Structure 1
Amino acid sequence: MEEQAEGLSELFNDGNSNASDSGKGSAAKRDHNTRIIAITSGKGGVGKTNFAVNMAIAYAQLGKKVILIDGDLGMANVNVLLNIVPQYNLMHVINKKKTMKEIIMDTEFGIKFIAGANGFSKIANLSVEELEYFANQFATLGNADIIIIDTGAGIANNVLQFVAAADEVFVVTTPEPTAITDAYGIIKIITTEIVDRTVNIKLIVNRVHSPDEGKRISERIITIVGQFLGYKIEYLGCIPEDPLVQASVIRQKPFIVVNPTSKPAVYLKHIVGRIEKTEPEFNEGVSSFLKKFLSKKR
């Protein structure tokens, strides 16, 4: 795995150097500025995927070029919320049957979507030729301003790989005691498993009855994480409980589109606004993301 990662790094460096030599250095610069966010949770059923979908659309409404990747390799369902039936997915790229451009889907919501695939762990055993092809294909995503990855819930290896490679990790929870416990659990695993760097972890509390409840839940988690893990995480905000959200899921249409002035939509836009105000000084881009993804020890 480490040898593959080193080879991939050289591949990207060579590619960027050649692009610069041929007058195409701007592509490397765009990759350098791509912001990659992994959205995860300690358990299913907390609204993680719904948050990821609607946040992607909120960014697109700000004029950003957004790619939403379904990284839940066990129970992928982003396409359900978008009311899309994907014909191709990442496995077609890995198997060299399709290019990345051929599997990226445009949506009616102003974002692009990439469907996940069971068996993606095969990337650990790619041949040099397969690795080079996949790396070159993944590098084309550097044109995006934002890449949002909806990971699976829990602590599967693939989840940790996505989390370890992203610029930022958003942990979604709810006020339910089990969700709070599991949120702490996933944060603990992230901070203990990924020891080579500090992971930028941020917290979202979903389905709250009031902003005070969201703040109270977040303070509890932040305090426990600081006390027992010695780790600092940031509270981004909350999304209120609202029948509109469930109704939009049934309609297979994001709530931010169904009713842009609803409380969930307004709160979500506020969260995105906060994120934009805390833009990292340095986004490492898709080449670094893939290198870290391959380097993550299983």
Structure 2
Amino acid sequence: MLRKLACGAMAALVLASGAQAAKPVQEPSQGFRFQFVTGDDSALTQRITEDLYKRLVPIFAGFRTELAQHRRMLYVAIGPAALREVASKRCDCVVISAFTSSQVYRSIMDQAARGGGHPVASTAVYAEPAPADQLRLAALLYRRPVRVSAILGADTAFLRPALEAGKVAVLDAAAGDDINRLLNQIAQTDVLLALPDSAVFTTESIRNILLSTYRHKQGVIGFSGDMVKAGALATTYSEIEDIDAQVAEIAGAYVAGGELAPPQFPRYFRTIVNEGVARSLDLTVGDEVRSFSRRAADPAPARRP
């Protein structure tokens, strides 16, 4: 069963393991409600919700009842399991998804719409890096114009226009395609931009992809720190606090004006580089690469009752 953490402007955050689902709290003089929906009680999830609480409470506490009564319940769905539960409901509510990839977010919301569920409005801060930031990282690493390729499955095909606008050579992967054949088609490019598409990058295929690109002297811009540790060249990545800050900004804009921002890639990030892979590609990693980042402000301290 998914945990639901209900928060009003003055509500205490429920974090105890195994706690019962809490009802949203509406204080007559303290604005409207938000609620966390999570898939587990892990230490990582608790870290996320504690940080989000600090960021959201001051935002919600600043708006009083006359404005607030016209707003809907706002759910923050942390991870795919939580999003799946909230998306299946038919409710007069707003959902902000966090820590779920663009591919999975779109799949869940499409399934919910076909099944008759679907919140009134939803948006997301995706889990994976922004392609534009990844392309900028590649340019910083190579310090020259580079040929970048990407392999897209059906679920990531929506990224094609943005990638082609960035001069990326896009290759479509159909179900059952041999990954080695696809890699041979992009062997003349300098960089492979990896995207979290389950039709392309699986546990089994990632090792093969990294070995093949290494032999062809191609750098892989990965989509996670773990992928870089496994042999990708580099990636931008977002810490929990980076994602939480962006969620809070979206929530704040919605509370203030009723406008819900569209789904978006992480705005705040840092960079990790596999120095050994960089040396094998004859790349010198400069300070401009190591410091490539965009940082969020720290949250204001939350006052608890």
TM-score by length of 2: 0.29
Relative contact order (alpha carbons < 8 A, sep ≥ 6): 1 or 2 greater? 1
TM-score by length of 1: 0.29
Structure with the larger helix share:
1
Larger radius of gyration: 2
